[in-house]
Amino acid sequence: MARLLNDAQKTSLRVTLRLIEERLLLLKIFIEKEKIEGSVYCFWADVPAETIALLERRIDQILETVREIAETFALHKKIDKLSDRLRATGSYFETLLIDQYAGKLVRYGMVAPELEQTLDPLLTKLREQIRTFEQKFERD
């Protein structure tokens, strides 16, 4: 069956299924955790237990069909390592944070004069912590 797809088609199918599978596996983790809470983000599994049970069964069914398609078309598995994710996360955070300095926030409206002295040092501290975090995994 793998011969039914050319390389580009196979890649497209593999990437699509990988994105679906990854999201469903993350949902399974979120369901298991029930609640994940930080300072500016909170995830809460806000549905009744019977709905969770049904959702878990449906997720498993979908994952089984993804597995069936992958086997049918000989789609190889992408190995996603924590170390790679950690390195990529640092770069991603840097990209997000660089545009939050007072001088950049002017694009959303007038910036309070004291914002630069209050926000910018905290953002710099956060960026330094992220760089240190990221550098640990560049050496390993």
- From CA 28, how far away is CA 48, in angstroms rounded? 15
pLDDT, tens digit, for every residue of 14-69?
999 999 999 999 999 999 998 999 999 999 989 999 999 999 999 999 999 999 99
The answer to whether residue 117 is domain-embedded is yes
For residue 128, the enclosing domain spans 82-139
* Stated pTM of the model: 0.75
Among candidate residues 25, 44, 72, the one where a domain is terminated:
72
Element containing residue 26 per DSSP (H, E): helix 7-33
The answer to whether residue 77 is domain-embedded is no
DSSP 71-139: HHTTPPPPP--HHHHHHHHHHHHHHHHHTTSHHHHGGGSPPPTTHHHHHHHHHHHHHHHHHHHHHHHHH
Among candidate residues 72, 97, 128, the one where a domain is terminated:
72
User: How many domains is the chain partitioned into structurally?
Assistant: 2
What are 40's two structure tokens?
A: 């500016």
pLDDT, tens digit, for every residue of 60-104?
999 999 999 999 999 999 998 888 888 888 889 999 999 999 999
Element containing residue 37 per DSSP (H, E): strand 35-37
The answer to whether residue 51 is domain-embedded is yes
Among candidate residues 48, 72, 96, the one where a domain is terminated:
72
Residue 8 near residue 80, CB atoms below 8 Å: no
What are 62's two structure tokens?
A: 């979908």
Asked if 49 and 98 sit in the same domain, the reply is no
